[in-house]
Protein backbone atom coordinates (compact mmCIF):
# COMPACT_ATOMS: atom_id res chain seq x y z
CA UNK A 1 0.00 0.00 0.00
CA UNK A 2 1.34 3.45 -0.89
CA UNK A 3 1.96 6.14 1.66
CA UNK A 4 -0.87 8.33 0.39
CA UNK A 5 -3.36 5.46 0.63
CA UNK A 6 -2.53 4.88 4.27
CA UNK A 7 -3.13 8.51 5.26
CA UNK A 8 -6.52 9.86 6.34
CA UNK A 9 -8.53 11.02 3.33
CA UNK A 10 -8.68 14.66 4.33
CA UNK A 11 -4.92 14.88 4.77
CA UNK A 12 -4.18 13.69 1.22
CA UNK A 13 -3.46 16.17 -1.57
CA UNK A 14 -5.63 15.79 -4.64
CA UNK A 15 -4.24 16.14 -8.15
CA UNK A 16 -5.26 18.85 -10.57
CA UNK A 17 -6.42 18.26 -14.11
CA UNK A 18 -5.06 21.50 -15.56
CA UNK A 19 -2.28 21.43 -18.11
CA UNK A 20 1.08 23.16 -17.60
CA UNK A 21 2.25 25.58 -20.19
CA UNK A 22 3.80 23.70 -23.16
CA UNK A 23 7.53 23.42 -22.77
CA UNK A 24 7.50 23.42 -18.97
CA UNK A 25 7.46 20.61 -16.45
CA UNK A 26 4.55 19.91 -14.16
CA UNK A 27 6.65 20.60 -11.07
CA UNK A 28 6.35 17.19 -9.49
CA UNK A 29 7.24 18.58 -6.10
CA UNK A 30 3.99 20.60 -6.09
CA UNK A 31 1.64 18.10 -7.71
CA UNK A 32 0.05 15.20 -5.90
CA UNK A 33 2.34 15.28 -2.90
CA UNK A 34 0.53 15.81 0.40
CA UNK A 35 3.61 17.38 1.98
CA UNK A 36 4.58 19.50 -0.98
CA UNK A 37 6.39 22.76 -0.52
CA UNK A 38 4.89 25.91 -1.97
CA UNK A 39 6.77 28.38 -4.11
CA UNK A 40 10.04 29.66 -2.70
CA UNK A 41 9.41 32.27 -0.02
CA UNK A 42 11.43 35.47 -0.51
CA UNK A 43 13.50 36.67 2.42
CA UNK A 44 13.20 40.11 4.02
CA UNK A 45 15.67 41.78 1.67
CA UNK A 46 14.00 40.26 -1.38
CA UNK A 47 10.56 41.42 -0.17
CA UNK A 48 11.90 44.94 0.27
CA UNK A 49 13.33 44.88 -3.25
CA UNK A 50 10.05 43.62 -4.75
CA UNK A 51 7.66 45.91 -2.88
CA UNK A 52 9.92 48.95 -2.57
CA UNK A 53 9.05 49.12 1.14
CA UNK A 54 11.09 48.29 4.21
CA UNK A 55 9.88 45.66 6.67
CA UNK A 56 9.08 48.33 9.25
CA UNK A 57 7.10 50.38 6.73
CA UNK A 58 5.12 47.31 5.64
CA UNK A 59 4.33 46.55 9.29
CA UNK A 60 3.25 50.18 9.79
CA UNK A 61 0.88 49.91 6.82
CA UNK A 62 -0.70 46.82 8.41
CA UNK A 63 -1.06 48.74 11.69
CA UNK A 64 -2.91 51.56 9.90
CA UNK A 65 -5.18 49.08 8.11
CA UNK A 66 -5.82 47.33 11.43
CA UNK A 67 -6.78 50.64 13.07
CA UNK A 68 -9.29 51.40 10.30
CA UNK A 69 -10.72 47.88 10.46
CA UNK A 70 -11.18 48.29 14.20
CA UNK A 71 -12.87 51.64 13.61
CA UNK A 72 -15.25 50.20 11.03
CA UNK A 73 -16.49 47.49 13.35
CA UNK A 74 -16.59 49.83 16.31
CA UNK A 75 -18.98 52.07 14.38
CA UNK A 76 -21.07 49.13 13.18
CA UNK A 77 -21.75 47.84 16.69
CA UNK A 78 -22.12 51.15 18.48
CA UNK A 79 -25.74 51.04 17.30
CA UNK A 80 -26.21 47.61 18.92
CA UNK A 81 -24.83 48.99 22.18
CA UNK A 82 -27.62 51.60 22.39
CA UNK A 83 -30.35 49.60 20.61
CA UNK A 84 -32.87 49.64 23.50
CA UNK A 85 -32.59 53.46 23.60
CA UNK A 86 -33.07 53.70 19.83
CA UNK A 87 -36.20 51.52 20.12
CA UNK A 88 -37.58 53.84 22.80
CA UNK A 89 -36.63 57.05 20.95
CA UNK A 90 -38.24 56.06 17.64
CA UNK A 91 -41.02 53.89 19.20
CA UNK A 92 -40.21 50.84 17.04
CA UNK A 93 -40.47 47.08 17.54
CA UNK A 94 -38.02 44.20 17.13
CA UNK A 95 -38.51 43.81 13.37
CA UNK A 96 -37.83 47.51 12.72
CA UNK A 97 -34.78 47.38 15.01
CA UNK A 98 -33.41 44.46 13.03
CA UNK A 99 -33.98 46.46 9.86
CA UNK A 100 -31.33 49.01 10.95
CA UNK A 101 -28.57 46.44 10.57
CA UNK A 102 -30.18 44.81 7.54
CA UNK A 103 -30.27 48.07 5.55
CA UNK A 104 -26.63 48.78 6.36
CA UNK A 105 -25.48 45.29 5.39
CA UNK A 106 -27.58 45.31 2.21
CA UNK A 107 -25.96 48.57 1.06
CA UNK A 108 -22.53 47.25 1.96
CA UNK A 109 -23.27 44.05 0.05
CA UNK A 110 -24.46 45.82 -3.12
CA UNK A 111 -21.50 48.21 -3.22
CA UNK A 112 -18.81 45.61 -2.49
CA UNK A 113 -18.61 44.29 -6.10
CA UNK A 114 -18.22 47.85 -7.39
CA UNK A 115 -15.22 48.49 -5.16
CA UNK A 116 -13.92 44.98 -5.84
CA UNK A 117 -13.82 45.76 -9.56
CA UNK A 118 -12.17 49.14 -8.94
CA UNK A 119 -9.72 47.69 -6.42
CA UNK A 120 -8.35 45.18 -8.95
CA UNK A 121 -7.71 47.94 -11.50
CA UNK A 122 -7.08 51.32 -9.80
CA UNK A 123 -5.13 52.82 -6.91
CA UNK A 124 -6.42 51.15 -3.75
CA UNK A 125 -5.14 53.82 -1.37
CA UNK A 126 -7.23 56.62 -2.87
CA UNK A 127 -10.33 54.43 -3.12
CA UNK A 128 -10.13 53.77 0.62
CA UNK A 129 -9.49 57.44 1.45
CA UNK A 130 -12.61 58.58 -0.41
CA UNK A 131 -14.83 55.85 1.02
CA UNK A 132 -13.82 56.41 4.65
CA UNK A 133 -14.18 60.19 4.37
CA UNK A 134 -17.75 59.75 3.06
CA UNK A 135 -18.55 57.19 5.76
CA UNK A 136 -17.39 59.55 8.53
CA UNK A 137 -19.56 62.38 7.23
CA UNK A 138 -22.71 60.25 6.93
CA UNK A 139 -22.21 58.67 10.36
CA UNK A 140 -22.00 62.11 11.96
CA UNK A 141 -25.18 63.20 10.16
CA UNK A 142 -27.10 60.15 11.42
CA UNK A 143 -26.76 61.41 15.01
CA UNK A 144 -28.95 64.48 14.34
CA UNK A 145 -32.10 62.75 13.04
CA UNK A 146 -35.39 63.67 14.83
CA UNK A 147 -37.64 60.97 16.29
CA UNK A 148 -40.28 61.42 13.54
CA UNK A 149 -37.79 60.45 10.80
CA UNK A 150 -36.87 56.82 11.45
CA UNK A 151 -36.71 56.25 7.68
CA UNK A 152 -33.90 58.81 7.53
CA UNK A 153 -31.90 56.82 10.09
CA UNK A 154 -32.30 53.78 7.84
CA UNK A 155 -31.11 55.81 4.83
CA UNK A 156 -27.99 57.09 6.58
CA UNK A 157 -27.10 53.64 7.89
CA UNK A 158 -27.39 52.41 4.32
CA UNK A 159 -25.03 55.10 3.07
CA UNK A 160 -22.49 54.11 5.74
CA UNK A 161 -22.07 50.93 3.70
CA UNK A 162 -20.13 52.95 1.10
CA UNK A 163 -17.16 53.38 3.42
CA UNK A 164 -17.09 49.78 4.62
CA UNK A 165 -17.40 48.41 1.08
CA UNK A 166 -14.51 50.58 -0.10
CA UNK A 167 -12.30 49.28 2.68
CA UNK A 168 -13.20 45.65 3.39
CA UNK A 169 -12.79 44.50 -0.22
CA UNK A 170 -9.41 46.17 -0.70
CA UNK A 171 -7.42 46.13 2.57
CA UNK A 172 -6.73 42.33 2.69
CA UNK A 173 -5.34 42.44 -0.87
CA UNK A 174 -2.82 45.10 0.18
CA UNK A 175 -1.58 42.79 2.94
CA UNK A 176 -1.39 39.93 0.41
CA UNK A 177 0.88 42.07 -1.79
CA UNK A 178 3.23 42.89 1.11
CA UNK A 179 3.74 39.44 2.69
CA UNK A 180 3.70 35.74 1.78
CA UNK A 181 3.33 32.34 3.48
CA UNK A 182 3.41 32.35 7.31
CA UNK A 183 4.18 36.08 7.42
CA UNK A 184 0.95 36.75 5.56
CA UNK A 185 -1.04 34.52 7.93
CA UNK A 186 0.42 36.35 10.94
CA UNK A 187 -0.35 39.78 9.50
CA UNK A 188 -3.87 38.72 8.57
CA UNK A 189 -4.41 37.49 12.12
CA UNK A 190 -3.37 40.93 13.39
CA UNK A 191 -5.70 42.57 10.88
CA UNK A 192 -8.65 40.37 11.86
CA UNK A 193 -8.05 40.83 15.58
CA UNK A 194 -9.60 44.25 14.92
CA UNK A 195 -12.99 42.73 14.09
CA UNK A 196 -13.90 41.31 17.51
CA UNK A 197 -11.97 44.01 19.36
CA UNK A 198 -13.66 46.78 17.35
CA UNK A 199 -17.04 45.12 17.80
CA UNK A 200 -16.54 44.94 21.55
CA UNK A 201 -15.36 48.54 21.71
CA UNK A 202 -18.50 49.51 19.82
CA UNK A 203 -20.70 48.07 22.56
CA UNK A 204 -18.53 49.62 25.26
CA UNK A 205 -18.30 53.05 23.63
CA UNK A 206 -21.99 53.08 22.83
CA UNK A 207 -23.11 52.29 26.37
CA UNK A 208 -20.51 54.38 28.20
CA UNK A 209 -20.68 57.50 26.02
CA UNK A 210 -24.46 57.38 26.39
CA UNK A 211 -24.14 57.16 30.18
CA UNK A 212 -21.64 60.02 30.38
CA UNK A 213 -23.48 62.33 27.97
CA UNK A 214 -26.97 61.29 29.07
CA UNK A 215 -27.99 61.00 25.40
CA UNK A 216 -27.50 58.03 23.07
CA UNK A 217 -26.95 60.35 20.06
CA UNK A 218 -23.44 61.17 21.30
CA UNK A 219 -22.48 57.50 20.93
CA UNK A 220 -22.71 57.95 17.14
CA UNK A 221 -20.43 61.01 17.19
CA UNK A 222 -17.28 59.25 18.43
CA UNK A 223 -16.18 57.34 15.33
CA UNK A 224 -16.49 60.19 12.76
CA UNK A 225 -13.67 62.12 14.45
CA UNK A 226 -11.53 58.99 14.52
CA UNK A 227 -12.39 58.51 10.84
CA UNK A 228 -10.69 61.81 9.96
CA UNK A 229 -7.52 60.50 11.63
CA UNK A 230 -7.85 57.30 9.59
CA UNK A 231 -7.98 59.22 6.29
CA UNK A 232 -4.86 61.20 7.22
CA UNK A 233 -2.98 58.03 8.15
CA UNK A 234 -4.00 56.35 4.90
CA UNK A 235 -2.83 59.31 2.85
CA UNK A 236 0.50 59.76 4.66
CA UNK A 237 1.57 56.20 5.49
CA UNK A 238 0.09 53.70 3.02
CA UNK A 239 1.86 53.01 -0.28
CA UNK A 240 0.53 50.97 -3.19
CA UNK A 241 2.61 47.75 -3.66
CA UNK A 242 2.72 45.97 -7.06
CA UNK A 243 -0.05 43.39 -7.36
CA UNK A 244 1.11 39.78 -6.99
CA UNK A 245 4.83 40.57 -7.33
CA UNK A 246 5.82 38.83 -4.08
CA UNK A 247 4.38 35.52 -5.35
CA UNK A 248 5.90 35.44 -8.85
CA UNK A 249 9.15 33.89 -9.91
CA UNK A 250 11.67 36.46 -11.03
CA UNK A 251 11.51 35.19 -14.64
CA UNK A 252 7.73 34.86 -14.87
CA UNK A 253 5.69 37.53 -16.67
CA UNK A 254 3.51 39.91 -14.62
CA UNK A 255 -0.18 39.09 -14.33
CA UNK A 256 -2.57 41.29 -16.26
CA UNK A 257 -6.19 41.88 -15.23
CA UNK A 258 -8.80 40.00 -17.23
CA UNK A 259 -12.36 41.08 -17.98
CA UNK A 260 -14.85 41.18 -15.13
CA UNK A 261 -16.95 38.42 -16.73
CA UNK A 262 -13.83 36.22 -17.01
CA UNK A 263 -13.08 36.87 -13.33
CA UNK A 264 -16.59 35.82 -12.34
CA UNK A 265 -16.45 32.66 -14.46
CA UNK A 266 -13.13 31.68 -12.91
CA UNK A 267 -14.44 32.26 -9.37
CA UNK A 268 -17.61 30.27 -10.09
CA UNK A 269 -15.40 27.32 -11.19
CA UNK A 270 -13.34 27.51 -7.98
CA UNK A 271 -15.03 25.10 -5.52
CA UNK A 272 -12.78 26.06 -2.61
CA UNK A 273 -13.79 29.70 -2.98
CA UNK A 274 -17.50 28.86 -3.24
CA UNK A 275 -17.62 26.39 -0.34
CA UNK A 276 -15.46 28.47 2.01
CA UNK A 277 -17.65 31.49 1.21
CA UNK A 278 -20.76 29.46 2.12
CA UNK A 279 -19.10 28.46 5.39
CA UNK A 280 -18.24 32.07 6.10
CA UNK A 281 -21.86 32.97 5.30
CA UNK A 282 -22.92 30.87 8.28
CA UNK A 283 -20.39 32.72 10.45
CA UNK A 284 -21.83 36.04 9.24
CA UNK A 285 -25.41 34.87 9.95
CA UNK A 286 -24.59 33.90 13.53
CA UNK A 287 -22.37 36.88 14.36
CA UNK A 288 -24.82 39.33 12.77
CA UNK A 289 -27.69 37.97 14.85
CA UNK A 290 -25.75 37.92 18.10
CA UNK A 291 -24.16 41.32 17.48
CA UNK A 292 -27.50 43.09 17.32
CA UNK A 293 -29.67 40.99 19.61
CA UNK A 294 -27.43 39.59 22.37
CA UNK A 295 -27.42 42.75 24.59
CA UNK A 296 -31.20 43.14 24.23
CA UNK A 297 -31.72 39.43 24.93
CA UNK A 298 -29.52 39.56 28.04
CA UNK A 299 -31.42 42.63 29.29
CA UNK A 300 -34.76 40.81 28.86
CA UNK A 301 -33.29 37.80 30.67
CA UNK A 302 -32.34 39.97 33.64
CA UNK A 303 -35.81 41.49 33.70
CA UNK A 304 -37.43 38.02 33.79
CA UNK A 305 -35.01 36.92 36.53
CA UNK A 306 -35.88 40.06 38.53
CA UNK A 307 -32.30 41.35 38.49
CA UNK A 308 -33.07 44.65 36.75
CA UNK A 309 -36.17 46.81 36.22
CA UNK A 310 -37.86 46.73 32.79
CA UNK A 311 -37.12 49.37 30.16
CA UNK A 312 -40.31 51.48 30.02
CA UNK A 313 -41.25 54.09 27.37
CA UNK A 314 -39.72 57.48 28.12
CA UNK A 315 -37.01 56.03 30.37
CA UNK A 316 -33.34 55.50 29.60
CA UNK A 317 -32.55 51.79 29.41
CA UNK A 318 -29.97 51.16 32.13
CA UNK A 319 -28.09 47.87 31.82
CA UNK A 320 -24.52 46.63 32.08
CA UNK A 321 -25.06 43.91 29.49
CA UNK A 322 -23.79 45.93 26.52
CA UNK A 323 -20.56 46.60 28.44
CA UNK A 324 -20.15 42.97 29.55
CA UNK A 325 -21.00 41.57 26.13
CA UNK A 326 -18.56 44.03 24.55
CA UNK A 327 -15.75 42.89 26.85
CA UNK A 328 -16.56 39.24 26.10
CA UNK A 329 -16.54 39.97 22.36
CA UNK A 330 -13.12 41.62 22.61
CA UNK A 331 -11.58 38.83 24.67
CA UNK A 332 -13.10 35.91 22.77
CA UNK A 333 -12.15 37.52 19.46
CA UNK A 334 -8.49 37.84 20.42
CA UNK A 335 -8.42 34.30 21.84
CA UNK A 336 -10.35 32.78 18.94
CA UNK A 337 -8.45 34.44 16.09
CA UNK A 338 -5.08 33.72 17.70
CA UNK A 339 -6.04 30.15 18.57
CA UNK A 340 -7.34 29.43 15.07
CA UNK A 341 -4.25 30.81 13.32
CA UNK A 342 -1.82 29.00 15.65
CA UNK A 343 -3.60 25.62 15.40
CA UNK A 344 -3.78 25.93 11.63
CA UNK A 345 -0.11 26.95 11.36
CA UNK A 346 1.00 23.91 13.37
CA UNK A 347 -1.22 21.44 11.52
CA UNK A 348 -0.65 22.61 7.93
CA UNK A 349 2.92 21.23 7.92
CA UNK A 350 1.52 17.70 8.16
CA UNK A 351 -1.98 18.23 6.74
CA UNK A 352 -2.43 20.53 3.70
CA UNK A 353 -6.17 20.72 4.44
CA UNK A 354 -5.70 22.07 7.96
CA UNK A 355 -7.21 25.51 7.30
CA UNK A 356 -10.76 24.42 6.34
CA UNK A 357 -10.71 21.63 8.93
CA UNK A 358 -9.94 24.12 11.72
CA UNK A 359 -12.76 26.34 10.44
CA UNK A 360 -15.15 23.37 10.42
CA UNK A 361 -14.14 22.38 13.95
CA UNK A 362 -14.70 25.94 15.17
CA UNK A 363 -18.20 26.22 13.72
CA UNK A 364 -19.35 22.72 14.66
CA UNK A 365 -17.94 23.18 18.15
CA UNK A 366 -19.58 26.56 18.68
CA UNK A 367 -23.10 25.42 17.73
CA UNK A 368 -23.98 23.47 20.93
CA UNK A 369 -22.54 26.16 23.20
CA UNK A 370 -24.50 28.92 21.48
CA UNK A 371 -27.66 26.81 21.79
CA UNK A 372 -27.01 26.27 25.50
CA UNK A 373 -26.33 29.98 26.05
CA UNK A 374 -29.82 30.79 24.78
CA UNK A 375 -31.56 27.84 26.44
CA UNK A 376 -30.07 28.53 29.90
CA UNK A 377 -30.78 32.28 29.98
CA UNK A 378 -33.95 31.95 32.06
CA UNK A 379 -32.20 29.84 34.69
CA UNK A 380 -28.81 31.50 35.14
CA UNK A 381 -27.33 34.60 33.55
CA UNK A 382 -23.85 33.45 34.65
CA UNK A 383 -24.18 30.14 32.78
CA UNK A 384 -25.39 32.10 29.74
CA UNK A 385 -22.28 34.27 29.76
CA UNK A 386 -20.01 31.21 30.14
CA UNK A 387 -21.58 29.46 27.16
CA UNK A 388 -21.45 32.67 25.09
CA UNK A 389 -17.75 33.00 25.93
CA UNK A 390 -16.93 29.46 24.75
CA UNK A 391 -19.20 29.66 21.68
CA UNK A 392 -17.82 33.01 20.50
CA UNK A 393 -14.22 31.87 21.03
CA UNK A 394 -14.77 28.85 18.77
CA UNK A 395 -16.68 30.98 16.25
CA UNK A 396 -13.85 33.54 16.06
CA UNK A 397 -11.36 30.90 14.97
CA UNK A 398 -12.60 31.36 11.39
CA UNK A 399 -11.90 35.04 10.70
CA UNK A 400 -8.25 35.13 9.65
CA UNK A 401 -8.19 31.59 8.21
CA UNK A 402 -11.06 32.22 5.77
CA UNK A 403 -9.26 35.32 4.47
CA UNK A 404 -6.04 33.34 4.04
CA UNK A 405 -7.89 30.58 2.13
CA UNK A 406 -9.24 33.13 -0.33
CA UNK A 407 -5.82 34.67 -0.89
CA UNK A 408 -4.10 31.40 -1.80
CA UNK A 409 -6.83 29.83 -3.97
CA UNK A 410 -7.47 33.02 -6.01
CA UNK A 411 -4.83 34.71 -8.21
CA UNK A 412 -3.74 38.27 -7.27
CA UNK A 413 -5.53 40.09 -10.11
CA UNK A 414 -8.89 38.71 -8.95
CA UNK A 415 -8.59 39.02 -5.20
CA UNK A 416 -10.50 42.27 -4.71
CA UNK A 417 -13.30 40.88 -6.89
CA UNK A 418 -13.23 37.63 -4.90
CA UNK A 419 -13.32 39.56 -1.59
CA UNK A 420 -16.26 41.56 -2.94
CA UNK A 421 -18.30 38.55 -3.95
CA UNK A 422 -17.51 36.71 -0.77
CA UNK A 423 -18.90 39.76 1.01
CA UNK A 424 -21.99 39.72 -1.23
CA UNK A 425 -22.66 36.04 -0.64
CA UNK A 426 -21.96 36.07 3.09
CA UNK A 427 -24.11 39.13 3.67
CA UNK A 428 -26.88 38.28 1.23
CA UNK A 429 -27.50 34.94 2.92
CA UNK A 430 -25.93 35.91 6.26
CA UNK A 431 -26.04 39.05 8.34
CA UNK A 432 -27.95 41.21 5.84
CA UNK A 433 -31.13 39.38 6.73
CA UNK A 434 -30.40 37.53 9.96
CA UNK A 435 -31.01 40.44 12.40
CA UNK A 436 -34.29 41.27 10.67
CA UNK A 437 -35.25 37.57 10.46
CA UNK A 438 -34.60 37.06 14.18
CA UNK A 439 -36.65 40.17 15.01
CA UNK A 440 -39.45 39.11 12.66
CA UNK A 441 -39.70 35.63 14.17
CA UNK A 442 -39.72 37.20 17.63
CA UNK A 443 -42.56 39.57 16.73
CA UNK A 444 -44.60 36.77 15.14
CA UNK A 445 -44.23 34.57 18.21
CA UNK A 446 -45.25 37.41 20.53
CA UNK A 447 -48.52 37.85 18.65
CA UNK A 448 -49.65 34.42 19.84
CA UNK A 449 -48.89 35.07 23.50
CA UNK A 450 -50.37 37.51 26.02
CA UNK A 451 -48.30 40.72 26.36
CA UNK A 452 -45.73 40.42 29.14
CA UNK A 453 -42.03 40.77 29.75
CA UNK A 454 -41.80 36.97 29.84
CA UNK A 455 -43.34 36.64 26.37
CA UNK A 456 -40.86 39.22 25.00
CA UNK A 457 -38.01 37.18 26.45
CA UNK A 458 -39.30 33.79 25.26
CA UNK A 459 -39.98 35.05 21.73
CA UNK A 460 -36.45 36.34 21.30
CA UNK A 461 -35.04 33.23 22.97
CA UNK A 462 -36.71 30.83 20.53
CA UNK A 463 -35.79 32.91 17.49
CA UNK A 464 -32.08 33.07 18.51
CA UNK A 465 -31.91 29.26 18.67
CA UNK A 466 -31.84 29.32 14.87
CA UNK A 467 -28.19 30.47 15.05
CA UNK A 468 -26.94 27.12 16.35
CA UNK A 469 -28.45 25.20 13.43
CA UNK A 470 -27.06 27.62 10.84
CA UNK A 471 -23.61 27.29 12.44
CA UNK A 472 -23.72 23.50 12.00
CA UNK A 473 -24.52 23.92 8.29
CA UNK A 474 -21.51 26.23 7.94
CA UNK A 475 -19.28 23.57 9.48
CA UNK A 476 -20.45 21.11 6.81
CA UNK A 477 -19.50 23.62 4.08
CA UNK A 478 -15.95 23.87 5.45
CA UNK A 479 -15.68 20.07 5.48
CA UNK A 480 -16.54 20.19 1.77
CA UNK A 481 -13.83 22.82 1.29
CA UNK A 482 -11.27 20.46 2.85
CA UNK A 483 -11.94 17.89 0.14
CA UNK A 484 -11.06 20.19 -2.80
CA UNK A 485 -8.76 22.88 -1.43
CA UNK A 486 -5.36 21.39 -2.27
CA UNK A 487 -6.07 21.16 -5.99
CA UNK A 488 -7.32 24.74 -6.14
CA UNK A 489 -4.29 26.02 -4.25
CA UNK A 490 -1.91 24.24 -6.66
CA UNK A 491 -3.70 25.66 -9.69
CA UNK A 492 -3.44 29.20 -8.32
CA UNK A 493 0.29 28.77 -7.57
CA UNK A 494 1.05 27.46 -11.07
CA UNK A 495 -0.95 30.26 -12.66
CA UNK A 496 0.92 32.96 -10.74
CA UNK A 497 4.27 31.40 -11.66
CA UNK A 498 3.34 31.41 -15.36
CA UNK A 499 3.32 27.59 -15.56
CA UNK A 500 -0.37 27.14 -16.24
CA UNK A 501 -2.59 28.61 -18.93
CA UNK A 502 -6.13 29.38 -17.84
CA UNK A 503 -8.70 27.33 -19.69
CA UNK A 504 -10.78 29.49 -22.02
CA UNK A 505 -14.44 28.93 -22.89
CA UNK A 506 -13.46 26.78 -25.88
CA UNK A 507 -10.75 24.70 -24.19
CA UNK A 508 -13.12 21.98 -23.04
CA UNK A 509 -14.40 21.26 -26.55
CA UNK A 510 -13.11 18.91 -29.28
CA UNK A 511 -13.60 18.85 -33.05
CA UNK A 512 -15.74 16.05 -34.53
CA UNK A 513 -17.12 15.57 -38.07
CA UNK A 514 -20.80 16.27 -38.51
CA UNK A 515 -22.63 16.17 -41.87
CA UNK A 516 -19.50 16.75 -43.92
CA UNK A 517 -18.03 19.53 -41.77
CA UNK A 518 -16.20 19.89 -38.51
CA UNK A 519 -17.85 21.31 -35.39
CA UNK A 520 -16.84 21.84 -31.77
CA UNK A 521 -18.82 19.98 -29.12
CA UNK A 522 -18.27 19.61 -25.36
CA UNK A 523 -16.12 16.66 -24.33
CA UNK A 524 -18.87 15.57 -21.93
CA UNK A 525 -21.26 15.05 -24.86
CA UNK A 526 -19.00 12.54 -26.63
CA UNK A 527 -19.42 8.90 -25.53
CA UNK A 528 -16.06 7.13 -25.64
Helix (H) or strand (E) holding 517: strand 517-522
Q: For residue 466, tell me if it sits in a domain.
A: yes
Helix axes 415-426, 260-268, angle to 10 degrees: 60
Question: Hey, CA dihedral for 516, 521, 526, 528, is it positive or negative?
Answer: positive
Does residue 285 share a domain with residue 174?
A: no
Q: How far apart are CA 285 and CA 279, in angstroms?
A: 10
Q: How far apart are CA 456 and CA 301, in angstroms?
A: 10
The tally of domains found in the chain comes to 3
* Phi (first) and psi of residue 513, to 5 degrees: -75, 140
Q: For residue 398, tell me if it sits in a domain.
A: yes
**Which of 243, 246, 247, 249 lies closest to 417, judged by CA?**
243
Q: Which of 211, 244, 277 is the last residue of a domain?
A: 244
Does residue 187 share a domain with residue 297?
A: no
Q: For residue 33, tell me if it sits in a domain.
A: no
Neighbour count for residue 22 (Cβ, 10 Å): 6
Neighbour count for residue 21 (Cβ, 10 Å): 13
> Residue 483 has what pLDDT?
93
Q: How far apart are CA 206 and CA 215, in angstroms?
A: 10
Q: For residue 25, tell me if it sits in a domain.
A: no
> Residue 142 has what pLDDT?
83
CA 273 centroid distance within chain: 13
Q: What is the DSSP letter of 522?
A: E
Inter-CA distances, 18 with 263, 412, 483, 522, Å:
17, 19, 18, 17
Does residue 384 share a domain with residue 311?
A: yes
> Residue 253 has what pLDDT?
57
Q: How far apart are CA 160 and CA 430, in angstroms?
A: 19
Does residue 505 share a domain with residue 456?
A: no
**Alpha helix positions (H), 52-120:** 55-81, 83-90, 94-119
Q: For residue 26, tell me if it sits in a domain.
A: no
Does residue 464 share a domain with residue 518?
A: no
Does this model's pTM top 0.85? My answer is: no
> Residue 367 has what pLDDT?
93
**Which of 238, 262, 231 lies closest to 117, judged by CA?**
262
Q: For residue 479, tell me if it sits in a domain.
A: yes
Does residue 236 share a domain with residue 349?
A: no
Q: For residue 338, tell me if it sits in a domain.
A: yes
> Residue 130 has what pLDDT?
87
> Residue 363 has what pLDDT?
93
> Residue 101 has what pLDDT?
74
Does residue 223 share a domain with residue 75?
A: yes
Q: What is the pLDDT of residues 103-155, one digit of tens each?
A: 887 787 788 888 888 877 788 888 888 888 888 888 888 888 888 888 888 88
Does residue 269 share a domain with residue 169?
A: no
Q: How far apart are CA 371 and CA 385, in angstroms?
A: 12
Does residue 503 share a domain with residue 478?
A: no
> Residue 48 has what pLDDT?
66
**Which of 275, 288, 265, 302 lies closest to 100, judged by CA?**
288
> Residue 433 has what pLDDT?
77
Q: How far apart are CA 26 and CA 341, in angstroms?
A: 31
Does residue 308 share a domain with residue 202?
A: no
pLDDT along the chain (528 residues), means of 10: 42 41 42 43 64 79 88 81 79 76 79 81 85 87 84 85 79 80 77 78 79 80 87 87 65 65 88 93 89 83 78 61 78 87 88 92 94 88 90 88 87 81 83 82 85 85 91 94 90 75 50 49 42
Does residue 284 share a domain with residue 429?
A: yes
> Residue 174 has what pLDDT?
83
Does residue 232 share a domain with residue 96?
A: yes
Inter-CA distances, 259 with 119, 120, 172, 417, Å:
14, 11, 21, 11
Helix (H) or strand (E) holding 209: helix 181-213
Q: Which of 218, 244, 270 is the last residue of a domain?
A: 244
Q: What is the pLDDT of residues 442-495, one digit of tens each?
A: 888 888 888 888 888 888 889 999 999 999 999 999 999 999 998 888 888 887
**CATH number, domain at 239?**
1.20.1250.20
Domain, as residue range, for 320: 260-497
> Residue 51 has what pLDDT?
67
Q: Report yes or no: 218 and 209 within 8 Å, Cβ to Cβ.
A: yes
Q: For residue 65, tell me if it sits in a domain.
A: yes
Amino acid sequence: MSGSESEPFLSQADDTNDRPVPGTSALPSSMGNPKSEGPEVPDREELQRITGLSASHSALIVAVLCYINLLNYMDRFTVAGVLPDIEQFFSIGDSSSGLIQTVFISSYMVLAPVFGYLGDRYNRKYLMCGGIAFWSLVTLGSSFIPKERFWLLLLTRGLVGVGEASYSTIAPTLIADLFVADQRSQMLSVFYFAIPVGSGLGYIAGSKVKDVAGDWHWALRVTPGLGVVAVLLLFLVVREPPRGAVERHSDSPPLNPTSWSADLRALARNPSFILSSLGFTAVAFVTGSLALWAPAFLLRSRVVLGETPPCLPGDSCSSSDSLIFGLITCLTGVLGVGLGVEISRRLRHSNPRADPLVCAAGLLGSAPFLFLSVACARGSIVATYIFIFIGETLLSMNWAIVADILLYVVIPTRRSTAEAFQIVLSHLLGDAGSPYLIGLISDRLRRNWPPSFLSEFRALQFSLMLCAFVGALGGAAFLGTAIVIEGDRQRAQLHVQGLLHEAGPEDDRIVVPRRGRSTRVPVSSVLI
